[in-house]
Amino acid sequence: THPMQNNLAPIPELYVSYESAQKLKVEAADLTSHDLTPRQICDLELLMNGGFNPLKGFLTEEDYNGVVENMRLADGTLWPMPITLDVSEEFAQSIEIGQDIALRDQEGVILATMTVTDRWEPNKAREAEKVFGADDDAHPAVNYLHNTAGKIYLGGPVTGIQQPVHYDFRARRDTPNELRAYFRKLGWRKVVAFQTRNPLHRAHQELTFRAAKEAQANLLIHPVVGMTKPGDVDHFTRVRCYEAVLDKYPAATTTMSLLNLAMRMAGPREAVWHGLIRANHGCTHFIVGRDHAGPGKNSQGEDFYGPYDAQDLFREHQEEIGIEMVDFKHMVWVAERAQYEPMDEIEDKDEVTILNISGTELRRRLAEGLEIPEWFSFPEVVSELRKTRPPRAQQGFTVFFTGFSGSGKSTIANALMVKLMEMGGRPVTLLDGDLVRKNLSSELGFSKEHRDLNIRRIGYVASEITKNGGIAICAPIAPYATTRRAVREDIEQFGAFVEVHVATSIEECERRDRKGLYKLAREGKIKEFTGISDPYDVPANPELRVETEGTDVDNCAHQVILKLESMGLIKA
Ligand code: PPS
Q: Is 455 in the pocket of ligand 1 (CB under 6 A)?
A: yes
Residue 136 and residue 185 in one domain: no
N- to C-terminal Cα distance for the chain? Answer: 62
Residue 186 and residue 117 in one domain: no
For residue 409, the domain's CATH number is: 3.40.50.300
Q: Is residue 264 annotated as part of the catalytic site, yes or no?
A: no
Residue 436 and residue 528 in one domain: yes
Pocket probe mutation, ligand 1, options 517, 519, 522, 523, max atoms within 8 Å of Cβ:
517
ipTM of the complex: 0.92
Residue 174 and residue 150 in one domain: no
Residues (pLDDT < 50) of the chain are 1-3
For residue 236, the domain's CATH number is: 3.40.50.620
For residue 22, the domain's CATH number is: 3.10.400.10
- Which pairing describes strands 544-546 and 100-104: parallel, antiparallel, or unpaired? unpaired
Domain tally, the chain = 3
**341 has which bridge partners?**
332
Which domain does 499 fall in, by range? Answer: 392-566
Residue 316 and residue 411 in one domain: no
Residue 195 and residue 266 in one domain: yes
Residue 152 and residue 211 in one domain: no
Q: Is 60 in the pocket of ligand 1 (CB under 6 A)?
A: no
Name residues whose C-beta falls within 8 Å of residue 329's C-beta, 6 or more positions apart in sequence.
207, 210, 211, 342, 343, 344, 345
Q: Is residue 72 annotated as part of the catalytic site, yes or no?
A: no
- Indicate the residue among 284, 309, 332 that finishes a domain: 332
- State the pLDDT at residue 1: 40
Q: Is 451 in the pocket of ligand 1 (CB under 6 A)?
A: yes
Residue 151 and residue 175 in one domain: no
Phi, psi of 364 (to 5 degrees): -65, -45
- Indicate the residue among 309, 332, 355 that finishes a domain: 332
Pocket probe mutation, ligand 1, options 443, 450, 477, 525, max atoms within 8 Å of Cβ:
477
- State the pLDDT at residue 204: 95
Residue 421 and residue 321 in one domain: no
Residue 138 and residue 239 in one domain: no
Q: How many CB atoms lie within 10 A of CB 507?
A: 10
Helix 267-280 vs helix 309-321: crossing angle, to nearest 10: 30
Q: Is 483 in the pocket of ligand 1 (CB under 6 A)?
A: no
Residue 195 and residue 221 in one domain: yes
d(CA 316, CA 301): 29
The answer as to whether 5 is a domain residue is no
- State the pLDDT at residue 4: 61
Residue 150 and residue 199 in one domain: no
Name residues whose C-beta falls within 8 Å of residue 331's C-beta, 6 or more positions apart in sequence.
203, 206, 207, 340, 341, 342, 343
Q: Do residues 338 and 21 lie in contact, with contact meaning Cβ atoms separated by under 8 Å?
A: no
- State the pLDDT at residue 480: 97
d(CA 36, CA 20): 22
Note the pLDDT tens digit of each residue in 187-241. Answer: 999 999 999 999 999 999 999 999 999 999 999 999 999 999 988 899 999 999 9
